[in-house]
Amino acid sequence: MKRALISDIHGNAEALEAVLAHIRGQGVDQIFCLGDIIGYGPDPLFCLDTIMKVADLTILGNHDQAALFDPPGFNPVALRAIMWTRGQLENDRRDMQVSDARWDFLGELPRRHDEGAFLFVHGSPRDPTNEYVFPEHIYEPVRMQALFQRVEKYCFQGHTHIPGIFTEGGKFLTPATLGGVYELGEEKMMINVGSVGQPRDEDPRACYVVLDTDLNSVTFHRVEYDVQATRKKILGLPELDNMLGERLVTGR
């Protein structure tokens, strides 16, 4: 079975559409979304409606949660963006059934999905919604051990917007060093699928992963999209900090 794993779309319609078009060419059976559909970006409603339609499973992200409840620990830029996003959800009263369905969908998202050897979260196996696992954490073996203790075999996650594979042996492998494809072996792994709508590994292209459970392989894909179109939308919205548009251009 082939599964596309997408995460951290962050209201970026152009990136989401480009990735879904690319996925259609991969012959995948299912799409899993690992959270943060909304927040930061200019098209939260479009992205939410699209994910509700196309995703076979969606995990709750910290920004999705923040649209529902008051967010703890958000910086001022993220907070202003999520308040604007919440307003978009609240003020769209064109169709109350659609509006209610969005709130119900967000309110019912699971924090984790366990499938034997495969675990799917937004943040980490220890704190599925909020904990960041950054590449530099490989230098903290106690932390990494505590995380891997909670992984049966393979954990798929997002949240940092930095794609790559953490091995139990203490390495972080970037998609570039892997040549894009990785065969899952006996060692435990945490696989960060990267971000569709706000990549932060200095590559502005949208990122996602295809997991092939027959070949036991993970393939990282990068997809070009109209970054300038999304940037311009953000610059045109006073509630969204200009920095949120500019960072898309550099992928930071």
**Sites of contact with Fe ion (CB under 5 A):** 8, 36
Task: Give least dist CB 9 to Fe ion, A.
Answer: 9
| DSSP class of 21 | H
Q: Rounded to the nearest whole angstrom, what is the least distance from the CB of residue 33 to Fe ion in the complex?
A: 12
Contacts of 215 (CB under 8 A, 6+ apart): 183
Closest Cα partner for 213 from 173, 150, 153, 162? 153
What is the number of the residue whose Cβ is closest to Fe ion?
36
Of 8 and 201, nearer to Fe ion (C-beta) is: 8
Closest distance to Fe ion from the beta carbon of 10 (Å): 6
For residue 83, the one-letter residue type is: M
Residue 39 or 125 with smaller CB distance to Fe ion:
39
Which parts of 92-196 fold into alpha helices (H)? 96-107, 141-148, 175-178
Whether the CB-CB separation of 218 and 165 falls below 8 Å is answered with yes
Q: 198 or 219, CB closer to Fe ion?
A: 198
Is residue 147 packed enough to be buried (19+ CB in 10 Å), middle (13-18) or exposed (0-12)?
buried
DSSP 143: H
Q: Pick the closer one to Fe ion by CB: 200 or 221.
A: 200
Q: Which is nearer to Fe ion, 66 or 165 (CB)?
A: 66
Give least dist CB 161 to Fe ion, A: 6
The answer to whether residues 166 and 136 touch, using CB atoms and an 8 Å cutoff, is no
CB of 27 to Fe ion, least distance (A): 28
